[in-house]
């Protein structure tokens, strides 16, 4: 008998006034009873509108059916066919614009909480894990550059098919954006570590501290180290600034730097040796998930006042709905239709205030969002002592610059064959943010899987 | 993990270490740097590579104990391991076609200036080295510099050895005496590089400096190392560390380097107490 409640089954969360002072996970996940209750809201539509909206086409109604039967082993197996990182995606995917936007239950009432159910199954699997089957290897070496979502998923699929995979990671910890970018309270690092441990059990080698392009070039990977194919999943790591006055002041961070200090270097822990500037009043510029993460981290580090400054309205914000809601609950102040024009400093070169203009929306631009234009003479100042720029990132040019013949777009994205992920150079593949510019975990994961499939076909 | 196979105290606060780091040793060129992390909870700090041995797969680094991390690093002994070493990072110095050069080293900056001077000497450039220290006890690499320099001048602020005064005084004397350098390379404290650049600008001599700002990843990811160069924001880790000194906003760079001064002081005090507890 289906559960005809119009609303999603409530998922417990940490109390906002408590959680905005700690780094523990905000959303606590469903227990078994809640998961089954929510699974029963699924009508098991024949045409699977949810799956059609999923970038990796997970067979959603089927895994939900398995939850109804309490058969979590097979629920996981169904997800695993299409996704390599379910515990991650269940937490960070923008479900409301993907799978859940296709859900029939969403027409009248709320859609089925597909993301929460995915997370439940993945967490159940992590807790009740069986031995990982090691496949006989085929002695064909493949190199994966970068250990973020695209690299991890590419490596996993290659390893499952017997390839000898080595992942090269520039930082000291693998995981890419999952480790340095997304905060602990949204994606606990033990989940990322688990994924990486599983890869190692499958026989994947991970070499940290290797900056491909500098430490070794792609050409040398082929010629000297005997790799037969290379997958570039180096992400989009270069932070953008606005080029306004005062961006060099002390207290101005890129979101990348701020989040890396907090998440990767654990600057919030007492025994971390990495310093971070703990500001009282913080302005975060931008409206994406990264901006929400930075704002919520700043709050947790003890800021009394944290602003999100975004030049469009809430409707156009690229952040996940849940992150926006959680940020508001935690006391983040949203200054919408507002755009910074300068950052002013004090006599010691530290940030004093951020000067903004009011914006209004005009006709839609190429991104189909209404274009914000400045309202004349609307300048005003917000007193802050730190500014975090979170207005996007672009691909790191290091690999492009050190790989002859690797074609890229005008903004540095690696050009690939959309079907295979192969670049302008044979046997070199690429995917994820290095190709698309900053996008989502699930799209990167899909790209990694696609390239793995093409590599397997090419080298078999 | 990266084993320390040699450790030498160059003076009270400056240490040389030879470390096994095959990826770095294989590719590193003068001017490039590494990022290291002493232990599992350590911060990432940049250090310029002093020397390397491609066959042995080792690099040499020279560092001054200035903060908590360098203090912890100095606690490691021969045979101990550094948790992480990544590199080589940054662009190699462009030292081609230099006929006559004045290499200026200030304090521990001499550790970076020396390989540059040596390389130029080996390329048959005429090398004049001017190295400056606060006082006699802090002198490092004197013999090495002397060996590869066509002219060698040592200065101390207090006159305890060599010429009393600053490197800029000595440099200006040489310029006025008619030494026509086609390049000056200055590596040392920001304030020294600033004044060398002010001087050479006056005489219109192209001057290269090596910037060492605060950074985390060293690959262009954090943007913490940004400096204003030629009126635009530049990431020193990928576009540098070498820059045309006449186009650097030194006053800004000096202020930016003070961002964590208070926190660093606290961290150093904490480390000192920690180390006291151990011994």
How confident is the model over B23-37, as a mean pLDDT?
95
Q: Let me know: does A252 contact A351? Beta carbons within 8 Å.
A: yes
Picking from B216, B226, B258, the nearest residue to A261 by CB comes out as B216
Taking CA atoms, B11 is separated from A214, B59, B82, B191, in Å, by 32, 20, 22, 22
In 10 A of CB B1, how many CB atoms? 10
The residue-averaged pLDDT of A243-260 equals: 95
Domains of chain B: 2-89 (2.40.30.10), 100-210 (3.40.50.80)
A261 part of contact set with chain B, CB < 8 Å: yes
CB contact under 8 A, A211 and B223: no
Q: Measured between CA atoms, how close is A209 to chain B, in angstroms?
A: 5
Eight-class DSSP state of A261: I
Q: Cα distance from B232 to chain A (closest Cα, Å)?
A: 8
Chain A residues close to B233, C-beta within 8 Å: 241, 243, 247-248
Is B260–A277 a contact, with Cβ atoms under 8 angstroms apart?
Answer: yes
Residues 6+ apart with CB under 8 A from A219: A403, A404
Q: Which two tokens stand for residue A360?
A: 């209004």
Asked, as a colleague might, if the bond just before B241 is cis with ω within 30 of 0, I would say yes
CATH classification of A16-128 is 1.10.1060.10, yes or no?
Answer: yes
DSSP tally for chain A: helices H, then strands E: 17, 16
The CATH number of the domain covering residues in A241-391? 3.50.50.60
Any chain A CB within 8 A of the CB of B260? yes
| CB distance A207 to A168 below 8 Å | yes
Is residue B277 pLDDT above 80, yes or no? no
Mean pLDDT is lowest, of A127-136, A206-215, A451-460, for A127-136
pLDDT at A225: 96
- The residue among A172, A240, A264 with the most chain B CBs within 10 A of its CB, best to mutate, is A172
Pairing of strands A338-345, A351-364: antiparallel
Q: Do domains A141-237+394-459 and A241-391 have the same CATH topology?
A: yes
Q: What is the DSSP letter of A104?
A: G
- The whole-angstrom distance between B19's CA and the closest CA on chain A is 15
Residue B274 has pLDDT above 70, yes or no: no
- Predicted confidence band of residue B90 (pLDDT cuts 50, 70, 90): very high
Q: Which helix (H) or strand (E) holds A454?
A: helix A441-459
pLDDT at B278 over 60: no
A257 close contact with B: CB closer than 8 A: yes
Distance from CA of B113 to the nearest CA of A (A): 22
**CA B9, chain centre distance (Å):** 17
Give the mean pLDDT of A191-211.
Answer: 94
Put simply, the chain A residues between 380 and 409 with a CB less than 8 A from any chain B CB are 396-398
Matching residue, tokens 């672009």: A394
> What chain B residue is nearest to A276 in terms of C-alpha separation?
B260
Task: Enumerate the domain spans of chain A.
Answer: 16-128, 141-237+394-459, 241-391
Q: What is the 3-state secondary structure (H, E, C) of A336-354?
A: CCEEEEEEEECCCCEEEEE
Angle at alpha carbon of residue B146, lines to B144 and B148, rounded to 5°: 75
Of A216, A237, A274, the CB nearest to B220: A237
Q: In a 3-state reduction of DSSP, which class is residue A395?
A: coil
- Alpha-carbon distance values, A72 to A125, A126, A192, A217 (Å): 8, 11, 21, 44
Strands A428-430 and B2-9: unpaired
The answer to whether B41 contacts A253, with C-beta atoms less than 8 Å apart, is no
Residue A213 pLDDT > 80 = yes
pLDDT of residue B279: 35
Residue B73 has pLDDT above 80, yes or no: yes
Kindly report which listed range (A82-96, A125-139, A269-283, B152-166) carries the lowest average pLDDT score: A125-139
In this structure, what are the phi and psi dihedrals at residue A318, rounded to the nearest 5 degrees? -75, -10
In degrees to the nearest 10, what's the CA dihedral of A285, A290, A293, A299?
Answer: -20
Q: Is the preceding peptide bond at A68 cis, omega within 30 degrees of 0?
A: no
Q: Give the mean pLDDT of A312-321.
A: 93
Burial of A247 (0-12, 13-18, 19+ CB in 10 A): buried
Find the helix packing angle between A149-160 and A189-201, rounded to 10°: 30
Token pair listed for A298: 């700043």
Is residue A279 within 8 Å of residue A250, measured between CB atoms?
no
Angle at B86 between CA B84 and CA B91, to 5 degrees: 155
Q: B89–A349: do the CB atoms touch at under 8 Å?
A: no
CB contact A458 to B (< 8 Å)? no
C-alpha A285/C-alpha A307 separation (Å) is: 8
Distance from CA of B32 to the nearest CA of A (A): 10
Question: What's the whole-number mean pLDDT along residues B78-90?
Answer: 97
Task: Write the CA distances from A427 to A169, A420, A458, integer angstroms.
Answer: 20, 11, 8
Closest chain A CA to residue B35: A209
Residues in chain A within 8 Å Cβ distance of B87:
211, 214-215
Rounded Cα distance between A157 and A144, Å, is 12
Contact A267, A297 (CB under 8 A): no
Alpha-carbon gap, residue A246 to A243, rounded angstroms:
9
SS (H, E, C) chain B: CEEEEEEEECCCCEEEEEEECHHHHHHCCCCCEEEEECCCCCCCEEEEEEEEECCCCEEEEEEECCCHHHHHHHHCCCCCEECEEEEEECCCCCCCCCCEEEEEEEHHHHHHHHHHHHHHHHCCCEEEEEEEECCHHHCCCHHHHHHHCCEEEEEECCCCCCEECCHHHHHHHHHHCCCCCCEEEEECCHHHHHHHHHHHHHCCCCEEEECCCCCCCCCCCCCCCEEEECCEEEEHHHHCCEEEHHHECHHHHHHHCCCCHHHHHHHHHHHHHHHHHHC
Q: Is the CB of residue A349 less than 8 Å away from at least one CB of chain B?
A: yes
Tell which B residues from 189 to 248 touch A, by Cβ distance under 8 Å. Answer: 216-224, 226-228, 233, 238
* B231 pLDDT above the threshold of 70: yes
Note whether B208 and B93 are within 8 A (CB): yes
- Asked if residue A58 lies in contact with residue A80, where contact means CB atoms within 8 angstroms, the answer is no
Cite the beta strand spans of A101-256 per DSSP E: 141-145, 164-168, 205-207, 229-232, 238-239, 252-254
H-run or E-run covering A333 = strand A333-335
CB-side neighbour CA atoms (13 Å) of A281 = 12
Distance CA(B175)–CA(B177), nearest Å, equals: 5
Query: How near does any CA of chain B get to the CA of A261, in Å?
Result: 8
Interface contact A257-B223, CB threshold 8 A: yes
| CB < 8 Å to A275, chain B | 43, 260, 263-264, 267
Could you give the count of Cα atoms lying within 13 Å of A184 in the half-sphere of its Cβ?
20
Q: Which of A418, A326, A271, A420 is nearest to A16 (CA)?
A: A326
Q: Which helix (H) or strand (E) holds A150?
A: helix A149-160
CB A142 within 8 A of CB A455: yes
Q: pLDDT-based confidence at B275, cuts 50/70/90?
A: low
Q: What mean pLDDT comes out for the span B83-108? A: 95
Best CA proximity match to A210, nearest among A190, A195, A225: A225
Establish if B255 touches chain A: CB-CB under 8 angstroms: yes
Q: Whole-prediction pTM value?
A: 0.93
Edge to edge, the sheet with strand B242-244 lists B163-164, B151-156, B126-133, B100-106, B183-187, B207-210, B242-244
Condensed to tens digits (0 to 9), the pLDDT of residues B134-178 reads: 999 999 999 999 999 999 999 999 999 999 999 999 999 999 999
Q: Are strands B33-37 and A338-345 parallel, antiparallel or unpaired?
A: unpaired
Burial status of residue A112 (CB atoms within 10 A of its CB: 0-12, 13-18, 19 or more): buried
Nearest residue on chain A to B26, alpha-carbon basis: A215
Given A172, A248, A257, which is nearest B233 (Cβ)? A248
Please give the share of chain B, as a percent, with pLDDT higher than 70. Answer: 96
Q: Return the DSSP state at A137.
A: P
Task: Give B68's contacts in chain A (Cβ within 8 Å).
Answer: 273
Query: Do the Cβ atoms of A211 and B86 come within 8 Å?
Result: yes
What ipTM was assigned to the predicted interfaces of this complex? 0.90
Residue A443 has pLDDT above 50, yes or no: yes
- Please state the separation of Cα A211 from the chain's center in Å: 21
Q: What is the SS3 assignment for A326?
A: helix
CATH 3.50.50.60 matches A141-237+394-459: yes
Structure tokens, B35: 């990022």
Average pLDDT value for chain B: 93
Do A237 and B221 lie within an 8 Å CB cutoff? yes
Residue A292: strand, helix, or coil: helix
Please check whether residue A241 is in contact with residue A439, taking contact to mean a CB–CB distance below 8 angstroms.
no
Confidence of residue A418 (pLDDT cuts 50, 70, 90): very high
Query: Which of B24, B217, B263 is the closest to A275 by Cβ?
Result: B263
- Tell me which chain B residues have a C-beta less than 8 angstroms from the C-beta of A269: 41
- CB of A347 within 8 Å of any CB in chain B? no
Q: How far is it between the farthest Cα atoms of chain A?
A: 69
Cβ–Cβ gap B23/A271 under 8 Å: no
């Amino acid at each position: 008998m289906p559960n005809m409640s119009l609303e999603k089954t409530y998922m417990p969360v940490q109390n906002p006034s408590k959680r905005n002072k700690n780094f523990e996970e905000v959303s606590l996940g469903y227990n078994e009873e809640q998961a089954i209750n929510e699974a029963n809201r699924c009508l098991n539509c024949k045409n699977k509108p949810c799956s059609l909206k999923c970038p990796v086409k997970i067979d959603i109604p089927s895994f939900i059916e398995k939850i109804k039967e309490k058969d979590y082993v097979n629920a996981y197996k169904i997800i695993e066919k299409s996704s390599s990182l379910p515990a991650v995606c269940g937490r960070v995917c923008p479900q409301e614009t993907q799978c859940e936007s296709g859900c029939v239950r969403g027409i009248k009432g709320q859609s089925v909480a597909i993301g929460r159910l995915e997370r439940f199954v993945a967490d159940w699997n992590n807790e009740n894990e069986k031995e990982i089957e090691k496949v006989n290897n085929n002695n064909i070496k493949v190199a994966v550059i970068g250990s973020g979502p695209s690299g991890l998923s590419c490596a996993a699929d290659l390893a499952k098919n017997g390839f000898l995979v080595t992942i090269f990671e520039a930082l000291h910890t693998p995981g890419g954006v999952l480790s340095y970018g997304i905060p602990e309270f949204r994606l606990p690092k033990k989940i990322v570590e688990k994924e990486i441990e599983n890869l190692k059990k499958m026989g994947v080698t991970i070499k940290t501290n290797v900056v491909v392009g500098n430490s070794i070039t792609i050409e040398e990977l082929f010629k000297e180290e005997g790799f037969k194919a290379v997958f570039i999943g180096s992400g989009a790591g270069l932070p953008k600034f606005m080029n306004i006055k005062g961006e060099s002041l002390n207290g101005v961070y890129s979101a990348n730097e701020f989040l890396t200090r907090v998440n990767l270097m654990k600057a919030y822990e007492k025994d971390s040796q990495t310093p971070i500037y703990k500001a009282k009043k913080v302005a975060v510029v931008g409206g994406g998930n990264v901006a929400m993460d930075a704002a919520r981290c700043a709050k947790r580090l003890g800021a009394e006042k944290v602003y999100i400054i975004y030049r469009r309205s809430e409707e156009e914000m690229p952040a996940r709905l849940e992150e926006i809601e959680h940020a508001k609950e935690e006391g983040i102040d949203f200054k919408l239709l507002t755009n910074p024009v300068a950052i002013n400093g004090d006599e010691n070169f530290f940030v004093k205030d951020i000067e903004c203009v009011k914006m209004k929306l005009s006709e839609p631009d190429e991104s189909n969002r209404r274009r914000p234009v400045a309202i004349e003479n609307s300048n005003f100042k917000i007193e802050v002592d730190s500014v975090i720029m979170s207005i996007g990132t672009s691909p790191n040019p290091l690999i492009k610059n050190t790989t002859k013949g690797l074609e890229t777009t005008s903004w540095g994205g690696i050009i690939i064959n959309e079907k295979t992920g192969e670049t302008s150079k044979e046997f070199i593949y690429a995917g994820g943010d290095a190709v698309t510019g900053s996008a989502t975990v699930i799209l990167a994961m899909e790209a990694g899987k696609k390239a793995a499939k093409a590599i397997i076909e090419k080298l078999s | 993990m990266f084993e320390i196979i040699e450790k030498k105290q160059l003076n009270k606060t400056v240490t040389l270490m030879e470390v096994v780091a095959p990826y770095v040793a294989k590719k590193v060129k003068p001017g490039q740097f590494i990022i290291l992390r002493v232990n599992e909870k350590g911060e990432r700090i940049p250090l310029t590579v002093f020397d390397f041995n491609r066959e042995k797969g080792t690099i040499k680094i020279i560092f001054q104990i200035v903060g908590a991390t360098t203090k912890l690093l100095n606690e490691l002994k021969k045979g101990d391991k550094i948790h992480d070493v990544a590199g080589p990072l940054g662009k190699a110095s462009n030292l081609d076609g230099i006929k006559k050069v004045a290499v200026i080293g200030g304090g521990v900056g001499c550790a970076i200036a020396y390989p540059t001077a040596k390389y130029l000497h080996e390329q048959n450039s005429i090398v004049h080295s001017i190295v400056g220290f606060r006082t006699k006890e802090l002198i490092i690499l004197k013999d090495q510099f002397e060996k590869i320099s066509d002219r060698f001048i040592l200065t101390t602020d207090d006159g305890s050895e060599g010429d009393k005064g600053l490197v800029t005084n000595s440099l200006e004397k040489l310029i006025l005496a008619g030494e026509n350098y086609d390049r000056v390379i200055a590596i040392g404290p920001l304030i020294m590089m600033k004044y060398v650049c002010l001087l050479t600008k006056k005489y219109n001599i192209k001057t290269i400096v090596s910037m060492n700002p605060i950074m985390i990843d060293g690959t262009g990811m954090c943007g913490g190392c940004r400096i204003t160069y030629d009126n635009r924001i530049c990431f020193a880790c990928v576009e540098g560390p070498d820059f045309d000194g006449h186009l650097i906003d030194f006053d800004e760079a000096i202020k930016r380097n003070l961002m964590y001064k208070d926190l660093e002081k606290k961290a150093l005090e904490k480390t000192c107490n920690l180390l006291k507890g151990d011994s």
